[in-house]
Amino acid sequence: MQPIRTLDEFFQRSGASVSFYHMGRHVTACPNDALRQLENTQSPWPAPWQGQARLAIVFRLGDMPEPAIWFLALPLDEEGHLVPAQRDAFLNRLLETLGRNVNQLGQESASDVDNLMQDNPLAFTPSVHFQAMLNARATHDLGLPASRHLAAVETYLRHPDTMDWQQLGLQGIADAAVRLDDDLAAQMATLVARTLPGVVQTFCYCLEHQALPEGLVNALRDRGEQARVEGDLETLCACVRAVGATPSPIVGDWYSQLLHDDTACGPDVLAAMAGRGWAHLEDGERLPLFLTRLADDTRTDFIAVVKDLALIPRLRLPLLMALRDAPEASTISARLADLTAR
């Protein structure tokens, strides 16, 4: 039998029931092929975050009574390909702990599987919002019921004046976001238009991981514009992030409007666009404008943001071309000159 050289091979040979989820820019399902192609150097990671392929692996081995979850951050090189040394070390530790014959794993291995995350340099702890979204997404994908907190959120959306929103469980809000239907979307749109900033922000952090219906996008944009006028930067950024995964011209046009606004387009708004709405930067006019704003503001880490965006495969070439075509006297060229002078 051929030796196991990749995590993908390990899970295939073990016969494990396994699902992968992106845990970088958004919490979304990750095709099994994405890990396989990354480990076989066939393609770069499609959704990198801060130089890493961050993913959750939800799996059962042998007779494990409950699924185990690993959070792994695989290091990437400057072109988004795997740097394999830490993966190889983890895989060797995995095989030594569980035994080379992964087909014979049983219930006695469950605790060993969990212990593999201790002192593991690849392990990371997602934010509480990301953990809630993963739980909501995974249970939904497995056909399992939502958490007990969903009922309270649904009641609050129907009758927001009868409950204290701070009593809502974050897991219930995440469940509502994942199970978003027309009724829930309409209720959220109404809520966003009239509720407190803290409520808007909390819902936004769960809504930012998926495409949203047009009515809810319009409500979030309008509330974001209200926050911009009122100087409420946190709510503005939350709304910018919340609509970022929605492939709608409404979002792109709003981003362009913000990029043209000297008072609105500071480092936090730029970070929100880059972190959650990067797909809307794949535009011949919007991308150079974004880079100009980024370079003009001395509070931003221009090089770090550019390097992070350049790892995204579909954005890499447009980004490099925009940098190449920047006027010689522009702040973009000046920032790049500073990099080469270091």
Which spans in the chain are helix H? 7-14, 32-39, 85-98, 110-115, 128-141, 150-158, 170-178, 182-194, 197-207, 214-230, 233-242, 249-259, 267-276, 286-296, 302-310, 313-324, 331-341
State how far the Cα of 304 lies from the Cα of 331, in Å rounded to an integer. 16
State how far the Cα of 281 lies from the Cα of 266, in Å rounded to an integer. 16
Angle in degrees, CA 284, 271, 184, rounded to 5: 90
Tell me the pLDDT band of 107, cut-offs 50, 70 and 90.
Answer: very low
pLDDT of residue 106: 47
Q: What is the DSSP letter of 1?
A: -
Task: Locate 227 and state its tokens.
Answer: 């926050």
Q: Is 307 helix (H, G, I), strand (E, B) or coil?
A: helix
For the stretch 325-331, contacts whose Cβ atoms lie closer than 8 Å and that sit 24 or more positions apart, written own/partner, are: 325/288, 326/288, 326/291, 330/292, 330/295, 331/292, 331/295, 331/296
Mean pLDDT of 119-134: 94
State how far the Cα of 116 lies from the Cα of 94, in Å rounded to an integer. 7
Q: Please write the tens of the pLDDT for every residue from 241-271.
A: 999 999 999 999 999 999 999 888 999 999 9
Q: Please write the tens of the pLDDT for every residue from 65-98.
A: 788 899 999 999 999 999 999 999 999 988 887 7
Q: How many CB atoms lie within 10 A of CB 139?
A: 19
Q: Are 283 and 317 in contact (CB under 8 A)?
A: no
CB neighbours of 341 closer than 8 A, spacing ≥ 6?
Answer: none
pTM exceeding the 0.85 threshold for the entire prediction: yes
Q: Is 21 helix (H, G, I), strand (E, B) or coil?
A: strand
State how far the Cα of 149 lies from the Cα of 27, in Å rounded to an integer. 20
Phi, psi of 72 (to 5 degrees): -120, 140
Q: Is 195 helix (H, G, I), strand (E, B) or coil?
A: coil
pLDDT of residue 15: 85
Say yes or no to pLDDT of 340 above 90: no
Element (H, E) at 326: none
Which of 106-115, 176-185, 195-204, 229-238 shows the lowest per-residue confidence on average (mean pLDDT)?
Answer: 106-115
Task: Locate 103 and state its tokens.
Answer: 């087909």
Q: Are 93 and 119 in contact (CB under 8 A)?
A: no
Q: Is 118 helix (H, G, I), strand (E, B) or coil?
A: coil
The closest of 62, 63, 76, 72 to 93, measured between CA atoms, is 72
Tell me the pLDDT band of 112, cut-offs 50, 70 and 90.
Answer: low
Q: What is the DSSP letter of 283?
A: S
Instruction: Mark 106-132 as b/e (b = at least 16 C-beta within 10 Å).
Output: eeebbeebeebbeebebeeebeebbbb
CB neighbours of 327 closer than 8 A, spacing ≥ 6?
Answer: 333
